[in-house]
Structure 1
Amino acid sequence: MTRDPSAEADRDPRRIGPTARLCDASGLDWIYPQARTVSRDPQRRRQPPAGPSDAGRRRPQHVRAAAYAVVAEDRGGGPRRRARRAHERTAANALDRSEARRHLRQRRCVGQASRLDPPGARVRPPTCICGVALSRKLVILHLDGLSADSLEKALRDGDMPYLQHLIDAEGYDLYRYRCGLPSTTPFAQAGILYGDNTEIPSFRWWDRERRVVVQFGTGSTFEKVADKYFAGCRPLTKDGACIAACYPGEAADDFGIAYQDRSYGRQAKSRSAANVLVPYLANPVHLGDWVWQTLAVFGRTAKDFSLARSVGRHPAPLYVWTDVAEEIFVHHLTRYAVQKAMREGYSPIYAGFYAFDETAHAFGPRDASALRVLKHVDHTIRKIAAAREGRYELVVLSDHGQVETTPFAAAHGSPFGAVLAEVLAGFRVQEVKGKAYGPPEDEARGHVTVTMSGGGAHVYFADRATRMTYRELMNRHPELIPRIAALRQVALLMARDGEEDVFIDAQGELRGAAVKPLLAQYDDPDILFEQLIRLNSFRNCGDVIAFGAFIDGKQVNFENQAGGHGSIGGEQLHPFVLAKKEWSIDTSRVNAAHQLHPILSRLRDQLASTA
């Protein structure tokens, strides 16, 4: 085959080196340098065939396939053109690989390390140009149920080596904050994403106006009341990606994955879960990893369950299998979706990982099973962090902690609903996610709904349209509050008398700040008092709210859980934020999750505006 002499001349480095220049395409990853190199000589420029149109594609306009690069004209400001495929090295106006490397070294800022990957001749996006920092994008990883104390213990024990690497090598630090009451994911996550978590009194509650039980997770019903929330808020994830969260956060995409595989209010641009799942399983590496994890998780969980039963412990069966599903399927798919969102350039990205929380519910937060899951979570963080490539900054946070618990039914001998039905003779008492007690529907003289979340329970007289006052409760049902407050398994009851907060324990009634000496055994009494009265101001609260007592170091849990949250006391109120010291984040005055929203929003805007 005869070579074209003009093409050979074009490849003469003495001719091309001084006149060629590189055009930056920093928004594109892994582009061959030939596709970024254009000669200044007008005679050597040729119009390349146009690449395929992006019309009709669902990806953002600024995102292009890695096989194409945007090539600009010289400083004269001519029209932008689309180059041929980057792997077609025969283009006459392309430098060969060695010339491109040499030219990159000449053009790079002094002191900047080369980003060229010699084996593949690929260019990583620069973090600065001529010493000026480029804007950064933000990815936030939400580790559900992991308290600051549990994280510190995991770091000391070597269970989360990559997070320790972030602290030691990348200047990260652990910042504690208080999530507020109730210490549940819907409450905390609404505060973080929207800056507003009012009228979210628990993981589940009774909406008197719509006459519906609102709950999250499997069978979520929040969509029935969603129009009542977050008006006028500017979400943290607006126009970004919100993956595996309770709320859509006005994100451009959720990748079809919402909390516990349920969603409401999906955005118009959101793709279905199948569009994420099919490519994930189509990759042999992902499929093999998924099969291996399935076998490993089933075997490990069965072993842990049998071992716990053999030593007299009682793991929660429902949460055992929820944990299996979380680890096998949702966790891996969420990780893949985050990496995909990063490749497509979304910012900010918020993603929830729930494997530790589910395992802690099943076995307890201090159990070896829960600690082993932290290694799995740490591995996921490492994989996501590896995809930053100088474009993304990483924040890791949790929404609440967990404490060791014992079920109310085991501690008392009867479920909480059965105790209420005994006190409220003639009323039919329905436990949400539980059984019904009392007379049949057609014979009942009233209906009571009990929503339970860990160590907290809300009691609603469901036939009423408004919350009953403490005075009215005592007049209509004089035995209810004294009988429940006298239970050893109940630490405190809370009700509302007009504008006054009323607290009741086995010793009697306390009003307002008089309860602070009692609260001192659970946390800082001043802060805990403010958290309690804010919760008590919600119209969606129960007519009376019960908090489980601590017995032998474990809190009484109104659900059937080995570990829980949603109440007062212990690590459940103390989550964390892991962030770089240079960002000067101050969480010392954050006493509720909604106060974290402006801090993260400022960080998002600060990173985006850095230029």
Structure 2
Amino acid sequence: MGEGRWRRAVSQAGRSVAVWGVSTVTMLVLAGILPDFRLQSPDGDSATTIAVTAAAGAGVFGVLSALAWPLLVRLLLLVPALVLGLLVFFLNGSLLLLALRLNPSGQSEAAPETAVIVAAVMSAVASATGGALAVRDDDAYRRRLYRLADRRRRGGGPACPATHGTVFLQLDGVGHDVLAAAVAKGLMPTVAKWLGARQDTVARPTHRLTPWRTDWSSQTGASQLGILHGSNFDVPAFRWYEKDSREVMVCNRPTSAAELQRRAVERAGHTGLLHADGASRGNLFGGGAGEQALVLSIAVGRRSSATRSRAGYFAYFSDPANAVRTALSFVAEAGREIGQSTRARLRKQRPRVARGGLYPFIRAFATVVERDVVVAAVTGDMLAGRSAVYADLVAYDEVAHHSGPLGRDTEQVLARLDRALALIENVAEHAPRPYRIVVLSDHGQSPGETFRARYGLTLGDLVRAGCGLPVPRRARRTHSGAEARAAVRAALRRPVEEGGEQHRPSPRSEPIVLASGNLGLVSFPDVPHRMSKEEIDARHPALLTTLANHPGIGFLLVRSEEHGGVVLGAYGAQIPVGRLDEEPGPLAGFGPGAAEAVRRTHTFPHTADIMVNSFHDPADGEVLAFEEQIGSHGGLGGAQSKPFLLSPLALSAPVADGEDLIGAEQVHRVLRRWLGEAAGPQVPRERASEERAA
């Protein structure tokens, strides 16, 4: 054995002894604090005996954790993710109880509930100590990363190529202007460094920031389907009713996601962006990747062990210290949300939506558990040398829906996301091949109060009132509800009476009203085809006028037998979609590209009978969500339609100077081009190492 190997062996032994020592001290401290945990016999023992007992217990627990833990978690892989996270603590406590039973002294014991606490603390302390010692030794840290990479590559596969790999990180819901403002405020130092915007350095920029424009349906389902599979045709919203199947499609429903992915693959003619040695992590769709974890579209049906949706949780929870660390962060985040929502309520902030019930835990899962598991999966993919990885981090989007896209709550989330980017960048330096990191978003978010908060009734209430159907008493008492009911009576030439509803159509004609942010969809399920304006007017003569003239609605899209698609607005505005470029009419305040987006949606087979886009104030970018969200996306108006693409300068520019990047399908083509560039001429390993060092 050479001198270098002896030095590494001694260093490793020293770290092991140090971790063992710290674990022993931790066990002694816990025995002194917790009444149901003891390391001595009832008659008392000497300090030496107690110390030996603690050392033996810590050693046995460490060995059991190293040997048995991965097997236990693998056996529980089919358990739902949240349940698995909780079981980690009970399994860890069981291992500690077993360690105490196997302790040669036979003097130690603990109550089961106490064993869970002791095991969690000891795992966290041991993991932190080992990690700290390894980080202090750069060579040891690098060797640890390479060992993880070797473990990932076991199985006799080909050697890792020297060409560049690409990591695509999606910051869900972060708009271009939000990212730029966060960089300017110093909230995202990693992104600032890439853009050459950090005040404390003079480094040249390594990345470029490019805005792009979403389709009309500015939401993750449409954008990510287009980005990963190259087609988001016939995805008019986040949720919509399909008359041929009589089903409501919802982008984040596993069965719908699987069907949408199948349609996209069939239309695009290829399996997806990640078909060549790719990995999909935390996404709605797989992108054709051979390795998929936490992917919604494979959460139904039969799955192999290689594509199991929850496989990423095993990789993360196989280390019990991860569960401890994530659980503590989970509790802290839930407490943070409760404190922030209480403060907003006491200050009577407006706009505001309800944030009670299970929401603090939903937020904690999205901002802590999902982030930690996805980041761990991405780092594992990089250490395994995969060619392409696409991962979605949903933290910002979840918080912005309830706290608003701007403010202290979301700024804290952005800062933590930046730290995740820094971690991934650090791991890239130790990966077996060079990596280029591309960061992008699928849409932005637009602020504004809800339609219901401003007018006292929902879009569904307004539609029912415009159809002459019964509406809740609270809606009848609103100004909008009263106007709609009066319009119906006038259109039907019925006298205004106070005794109740004067017109009650057959229940079969009742519409289905769905909301996707500030985009509403109205469908009449008893009519098998997409109804025309003329048919709607004949059945419900006051409906379109009621909707188009409402101050909370910006415009409608309907099919006309005479003009094809038409956009309707207030005061009788009616513009055929073919003339929107010359005469934008109600679309004038919705910015460039609105006409093109509306025309494209009009061609979809499953476009609703009436497409409703809310009011938009160009001065402050506010919209009115038809859902209970004060940060929303899904339609046209404001920052929701302007996400970003942050790409290395080593890659070709997304578009030529002066051109706009429009639509998720064009973003897909750009990403495919970049993957082709990465698979170009071989990069010598010596030069690859120099590039990583630089």
TM-score of the pair, normalised by structure 1:
0.73
For residue 506 of structure 1, the aligned residue among 549, 557, 570 is 570
Counterpart secondary structure, 2:635: coil
Count of residues paired in the alignment: 480
* Aligned twin of 2:275: 238
Contact 1:248/1:267 (<8 A) preserved: no
Contact 1:196/1:233 (<8 A) preserved: no
Q: Distance in 2 between matches of 1:117 and 1:332?
A: 23
Q: Distance in 2 between matches of 1:164 and 1:150?
A: 13
Contact 1:155/1:161 (<8 A) preserved: yes
1:448 and 2:485 equivalent?
no
1:341 and 2:381 equivalent?
yes
* Aligned twin of 2:337: 301
Matches within 5 A, 1:147-226: 147-168=175-196, 169=203, 171-217=206-252, 221-223=256-258, 226=261
* Aligned twin of 1:4: none
Contact 1:248/1:264 (<8 A) preserved: no
Q: Distance in 1 between matches of 2:309 and 2:530?
A: 40
* Aligned twin of 1:52: none
User: Displacement of 1:324 after TM fit?
Assistant: 2.3
| CA 468–320 in structure 1, closer or farther in 2 if over 3 Å, else same | farther
Contact 1:427/1:447 (<8 A) preserved: no
Matches within 5 A, 1:490-505: 490-498=553-561, 500-505=564-569
Contact 1:194/1:249 (<8 A) preserved: yes
User: Displacement of 1:251 after TM fit?
Assistant: 1.0
Q: Distance in 2 between matches of 1:308 and 1:218?
A: 32
Counterpart secondary structure, 2:453: helix
For residue 526 of structure 2, the aligned residue among 463, 472, 493 is 463
Q: Distance in 2 between matches of 1:586 and 1:327?
A: 30
Counterpart secondary structure, 1:507: helix
Q: Deviations over 1:441-486 (max 9, x none)?
A: 9971323111211110010111222211222222222211001111
* Aligned twin of 1:577: 645
Counterpart secondary structure, 1:372: helix
1:599 and 2:676 equivalent?
no
The residue identity in structure 1 corresponding to 2:219 is T
User: Displacement of 1:292 after TM fit?
Assistant: 2.4
* Aligned twin of 2:607: 541
Q: Deviations over 1:358-399 (max 9, x none)?
A: 100011001210111001111111111222135221100001
Of Structure 1 and Structure 2, the greater helix share is in 2
For residue 421 of structure 2, the aligned residue among 381, 385, 397 is 381
Contact 2:282/2:392 (<8 A) preserved: yes
The residue identity in structure 1 corresponding to 2:613 is F
Q: Distance in 1 between matches of 2:214 and 2:666?
A: 9
User: Displacement of 1:500 after TM fit?
Assistant: 2.3
Contact 1:244/1:258 (<8 A) preserved: yes
User: Displacement of 1:601 after TM fit?
Assistant: 0.4
Q: Distance in 2 between matches of 1:220 and 1:366?
A: 34
Q: Which runs of 5+ in 1 are unaligned?
A: 1-6, 13-115, 126-132, 430-437
Contact 1:427/1:446 (<8 A) preserved: no
Q: Deviations over 1:201-258 (max 9, x none)?
A: 0011111111111103356533356543321134111141111111122210212x02
Q: Deviations over 1:65-90 (max 9, x none)?
A: xxxxxxxxxxxxxxxxxxxxxxxxxx
Q: Distance in 1 between matches of 2:178 and 2:195?
A: 16
Q: Distance in 2 between matches of 1:319 and 1:489?
A: 28
Q: Which runs of 5+ in 2 are unaligned?
A: 4-136, 147-160, 197-202, 473-500, 683-694
Q: Distance in 2 between matches of 1:377 and 1:121?
A: 24
Q: Deviations over 1:391-418 (max 9, x none)?
A: 2211000011001021111111111112
Q: Distance in 2 between matches of 1:304 and 1:610?
A: 52
Q: For the aligned residues, what is the CA RMSD?
A: 3.0
Matches within 5 A, 1:481-492: 481-492=544-555
Of Structure 1 and Structure 2, the greater strand share is in 1
Q: Deviations over 1:16-61 (max 9, x none)?
A: xxxxxxxxxxxxxxxxxxxxxxxxxxxxxxxxxxxxxxxxxxxxxx
The residue identity in structure 1 corresponding to 2:641 is L
The residue identity in structure 2 corresponding to 1:350 is Y
Instruction: Give % identity.
Output: 26
| CA 214–416 in structure 1, closer or farther in 2 if over 3 Å, else same | same
* Aligned twin of 1:254: 292
Q: Distance in 2 between matches of 1:584 and 1:251?
A: 24
* Aligned twin of 2:408: 368
1:329 and 2:376 equivalent?
no
Contact 1:241/1:251 (<8 A) preserved: yes
Q: Distance in 2 between matches of 1:378 and 1:295?
A: 21
User: Displacement of 1:322 after TM fit?
Assistant: 2.9
* Aligned twin of 1:277: 313
